[in-house]
Structure 1
Amino acid sequence: MSGYLTTHVLDTARGCPAQGIRIALYRVSGNSHKKIAEAVTNADGRTDTPVLPAEKFKTGTYELIFFAGDYLRATGQVDEDILFLDQVPIRFGMSDPDAHYHVPLLLSPYGMSTYRGS
């Protein structure tokens, strides 16, 4: 297998990469979630290495959790105790053992979007 998983986060409200967002990756099987990786975005809004590198890649269902609330507070975009977006989960499947999967997050305090990138 040579597949792998990457991600990045863009702050669409500020028009820049989102630096310092903690991301956790879980493998999902039925009702079970197993945390398999954690990373933090760099100045380019990306992780320094793939979230799931080729040597650990397995097909299946996964979930990325983006800890957006911490970032939104730190950048002064929100100051409420209860945020509209706090932890942002994205559940997705990876079925091709040789593919590069890229799951980005476009983020603002009141909206988010994702897609399968390249």
Structure 2
Amino acid sequence: MSALSTHVLDTMRGSPAVGVSVTLYLQARQLCSSLTDADGRISALAEALEPGSYRLVFDTGAYFARQQVETFYPEVVVTFAVTEDRHYHVPLLLSPFAFSTYRGS
């Protein structure tokens, strides 16, 4: 069974994005939700993921609102495929008007 972690970095500030709510979905079903820690990480968001198409929803609007920063993206949705039994890491590089993601290790 596969495991999942994530890491959110605030590229505007050059620091971890603390307290970002991240929710994992399998199709329309919510599986779990958690907040990023002081290092911007959720090291064990989910375990025992079966093969399939998953969505991570990052509540970036609430994160930037707490900082009184306007953002163009109130949420970021990353859809990814679990295809084999391994650890999946999905980092998010975030600023108020841009974001980037990649398959981490």
Instruction: Please classify the TM superposition score into its range, dividing by the shorter chain length.
Output: over 0.9
Contact conserved, 2:9 with 2:17, CA < 8 A, in 1? yes
User: Aligned equivalents of 1:41 and 1:87: distance in 2?
Assistant: 15
Contact conserved, 2:49 with 2:82, CA < 8 A, in 1? no
- SS of residue in 2 equivalent to 1:50: strand
**2:59 paired with 1:67:** yes
1:50 paired residue number? 44
User: Aligned equivalents of 1:35 and 1:87: distance in 2?
Assistant: 16
Percent identity over paired residues = 43
1:6 paired residue number? 5
**2:77 paired with 1:89:** yes
CA offsets, 1:16-47, max 9 Å, x none?
0000000110002xxxx100010000100002
CA offsets, 1:21-78, max 9 Å, x none?
00110002xxxx100010000100002x41112xx32111000000001001112222
Taking structure 2 as the reference length, the TM-score comes to: 0.95
**CA RMSD across the alignment:** 1.0
Larger proportion of strand: 2
1:38 paired residue number? 33
2:16 paired residue number? 17
1:110 paired residue number? 97
Moved over 6 A (4+): none
- SS of residue in 1 equivalent to 2:44: coil
Contact conserved, 2:10 with 2:16, CA < 8 A, in 1? yes
Taking structure 1 as the reference length, the TM-score comes to: 0.85
Moved more, 5-14 or 68-77: 68-77
Q: What amino acid does structure 2 have at the position aligned with 1:39?
A: S
Q: What amino acid does structure 2 have at the position aligned with 1:116?
A: R
1:100 paired residue number? 87
Q: What amino acid does structure 2 have at the position aligned with 1:16?
A: S
